[in-house]
Amino acid sequence: MKTVLLTLLSAATILAAGAAPSKAEDRYADRPPVMVSPDLSAPWVLQLGRAPGIVRQNRQVVQQPQQRLRYAQPQQPDRVQTAAVQAPARRMVMRPQINPIYLPQEVAYSGSQKPGTIVIDTTQNFLYLVEKDGKARRYGVGTGKPGFEWAGTHKISQKKEWPEWRPPAEMIAREAAKGRYLPTYLAGGIENPLGARALYLGSTLYRIHGTNQPWTIGGAVSSGCIRMRNEDVVDLYERVNVGTTVEVIQ
């Protein structure tokens, strides 16, 4: 019995020697947080201390700041908003609006031309497609500027959709003298000054064609050709055939 007591006393002495002395205020100190191993493949072992990991506080899983900084992904900016902010301010260019009088409309017509004939009044800047019963479909057009007026009667020799443009040598030289250099060829398309359709008049260089400058309709603006809005020349294109008579009057 005495031997057993001595053994117990020795063990207690050894434990007391290795342990830190306890103080009365220790029971009021903050306890170290309870950690869970960050390696989810490892067993869920409770750990003591402040090793990096996931801290369980009030039953919520919260990441430590070190981990949040380490794994946080940079926030992607809103591309639309960024583009709107970064895009340079563009100056608004206000184009003159076409006068409604030059929009297509049915009108009374008392001319002597038979139905199906195209009549172009270069003074009033109107094109008439003569119809039956004293009526005509009227379109606004752009006509030859001063020095480029002409009159005469021709027939439509060919029709083209989105025609290419080959300005004549005289036009190229005339524009070059003004400091404006024209291409010798331009494929059909939105940027082409002949627009969406072209009706060629006999063997002349003149055409009834569309334009990418619709605000010029109603004026004397061309080098002799007859301009129409693209939507109007498409409409006229569908209504007439090769061989249609075109009468240009002043």
Quote the CA–CA distance of 228 and 210 in Å, as a whole number. 5
Q: Using alpha carbons, select from 40, 43, 75, 69 the residue that is nearest to residue 54.
A: 40
pLDDT in tens, the chain (250 residues): 555 455 555 555 554 555 455 555 555 555 555 555 455 444 444 444 444 444 444 444 444 444 443 434 444 444 444 444 444 455 656 667 889 999 999 999 999 999 999 999 999 999 999 999 999 999 999 999 999 999 999 999 999 999 999 988 889 898 899 898 988 889 999 999 999 999 999 999 999 999 999 999 999 999 999 999 999 999 999 999 999 999 999 9
DSSP state, residue 147:
T
Phi, psi of 123 (to 5 degrees): -85, -45
d(CA 160, CA 196): 9
Q: Which amino acid is at 183?
A: P
Displacement of CA 93 from its chain's centroid (Å): 17
Catalytic residue ranges: 209, 225
The answer to whether 130 touches 172, Cβ cutoff 8 Å, is no
